[in-house]
Amino acid sequence: MKHIFKQGDSTKPTLLLLHGTGGTEEDLVPLANLIAPENSYLSVRGNVSENGMPRFFKRLAEGVFDEKDLVERTKELNDFITDASKKYGFDRDNVIAIGYSNGANIAGSLLLHDSNSLRAAILHHPMVPIRGLTSDLTNTPIFIGAGENDPICSSEETVELKNILTEAGADVTVHWERMGHQLTKQEVEEAARWYNSKF
């Protein structure tokens, strides 16, 4: 998978950066620099193209995911992180995802498919990636940034995702904004405060 790796302090978690639809591996680097500037990061470009826009998995329509492809792409990403940890020498058990929109959705899918895939996650404007999976996320810290008036991800969907993750044992914090699906500096700053309180 096309990616950027930047070596940082190897005693700190490695950040896995996952862009939104139409983004690239460059998009979330400013978030890494704001949230945890001393950390290493692995920033990945999605392998799926939707009308020329990179994504991490296919969808059938707006808000309707191709679940078969989601499952396959989640495994592909999980395996890629493992391979990258060997190539770059970072601790596979100390990876924290930072995802926005489509990237947040596949990060959520990683958590639900494999409870050992991520140590923690910062999910900006995620949807429920898949339903009906049981995962043991006991004490896994998760930050969700959401929009009360998000036209793509309804507040009801955010609450449902929080409940799914909480029932799996995760320690979930939800931060609400009123800027639609937009990722704001204020939301990222809140994620940075959350990160510093946990790590």
> Do the Cβ atoms of 183 and 100 come closer than 8 Å?
yes
Annotation marks residue 19 as catalytic = no
Main-chain phi, psi angles of 75, to 5 degrees: -65, -40
Candidates 40, 101, 117, 135; catalytic one: 101
The number of angstroms, rounded, from the C-alpha of 55 to the middle of its chain's C-alpha atoms is 13
Annotation marks residue 150 as catalytic = yes
> What is the DSSP code string of 140-180?
-EEEEEEETT-SSS-HHHHHHHHHHHHHTT-EEEEEEESST
CA separation for the pair 167, 72 (Å, rounded): 25
**What end-to-end distance do the CA atoms of the chain give, in Å?**
28
Count of CB atoms within 10 A of residue 63's CB?
11
Q: How do beta strands 53-55 and 59-61 pair?
A: unpaired
Tokens representing 110? 């990683």
Annotation marks residue 197 as catalytic = no
Tokens representing 117? 């895939």
CA separation for the pair 70, 100 (Å, rounded): 16
Residue found under tokens 């930072």: 98
Active site residues: 101, 150, 181
